[in-house]
Amino acid sequence: MADSDRSPVSVIGLGAMGRALAGALLDRGHPTTVWNRTAGRAGELAARGATVAATAAEAVAASPVTVICVLDYEAVRETLDPVAGTLTGRTLVNLTNGTPEQARTTAGWAAGHGVDYVDGGIMAVPPMIGQDGALILYSGSQEAFTAHERTLGALGTATYLGEDAGRASLYDLALLSAMYGMFGGFFHAVAMTGSEKVPAAEFTPLVVAWLNAMIAGLPAMAAALDSGDHSADDSNVEMQAASYVNLLDASRAQGVSTELVEPMGALLRRAVAAGRGAGAVSSLIDLLHTDHA
């Protein structure tokens, strides 16, 4: 069926994210069929016009495209293995968080059953779904993505990353690692100032301003990473390794655990020991690459 503003869609998984996805589809006028392992989670969606399927097979049969968003890939396979025959000839969009390897394996499983497969990574929290600010990364079958692009646009800004089904999940997890790094730094910073009773709300505007200033430097750092030229810099690794010791010592003295910030200190020390002290901090990434598992 050609994609239109009102193509029917089925949504499997009605956790916080699945409910938001189904809600966004209903908002755009898509006939939406929903199913969840545990009954009773579709009440509000049903009141808004969703059809509640009695089984996963019934949900899959109701639409040319099924979106699944459950806890993990084990739950995906547990749910979809028994309905693979019903999925044949239809499109499966899997927005469950997982690894690139899991995405590629699932793409292989889908191909084996004649299912068009698109994997995805949601860079948004449930209240953002349906808005342009919700970035959703997709990879896998280009034909299927293009066929359903308008429908997927109901969920957020759809960005297609290529035929490799694992690519969306690689980007998703990489972006999450950047987010967790930021959270870790923020938590540690607030713990330090909190050790002297500074309210987090008072200190946080400074954190935001400082991080924004540092974020502005990321494109230049990316250029250094791509070119491999880590020479031109005013803040070399040796200087940063020396001042990092103060960060660790002060944290301990303030009664703050250093568990979130130790790894960067260790990497700086390793870089100095490897003779990289004169280079820019972007050179640290060279030390992170290990062979693929």
Q: Where along the sequence are the contacts to ligand FVH (CB under 6 A)?
A: 13-18, 36-38, 41, 69-72, 75, 78-79, 96-97, 122, 125-126
How does DSSP classify residue 233?
Answer: -
CA distance between the termini of the chain: 41
Task: For ligand FVH, give the closer residue by CB, 181 or 263.
Answer: 181
Smallest distance from ligand FVH to CB 129, Å: 9
Task: For ligand FVH, give the closer residue by CB, 58 or 229.
Answer: 58
Task: For ligand FVH, give the closer residue by CB, 134 or 267.
Answer: 134
Beta strands 91-94; 116-123: pairing state: parallel
Q: How many CB atoms lie within 10 A of CB 218?
A: 12
What's at 97, amino acid-wise? N
What is d(CA 51, CA 73) in angstroms, rounded to the nearest whole number?
25
Task: For ligand FVH, give the closer residue by CB, 119 or 233.
Answer: 119
Task: For ligand FVH, give the closer residue by CB, 78 or 143.
Answer: 78
What is d(CA 251, CA 140) in angstroms, rounded to the nearest whole number?
46
What is d(CA 253, CA 42) in angstroms, rounded to the nearest whole number?
52
Smallest distance from ligand FVH to CB 105, Å: 16
DSSP-assigned states of every residue in 117-165: EEEEEEES-GGGTTSTT-EEEEEE-HHHHHHTHHHHTTTSEEEE--S-T
Best CA proximity match to 261, nearest among 174, 187, 200, 178: 187
Smallest distance from ligand FVH to CB 30, Å: 19
Smallest distance from ligand FVH to CB 18, Å: 5
Joined together, the tokens standing for residue 240 give 């940063």
Task: For ligand FVH, give the closer residue by CB, 24 or 271.
Answer: 24
Smallest distance from ligand FVH to CB 144, Å: 20
What is d(CA 77, CA 142) in angstroms, rounded to the nearest whole number?
23
**Taking CB positions, which residue lies at the least distance from ligand FVH?**
15
Task: For ligand FVH, give the closer residue by CB, 103 or 192.
Answer: 103
Smallest distance from ligand FVH to CB 265, Å: 30
What is d(CA 201, CA 205) in angstroms, rounded to the nearest whole number?
7
Smallest distance from ligand FVH to CB 96, Å: 4
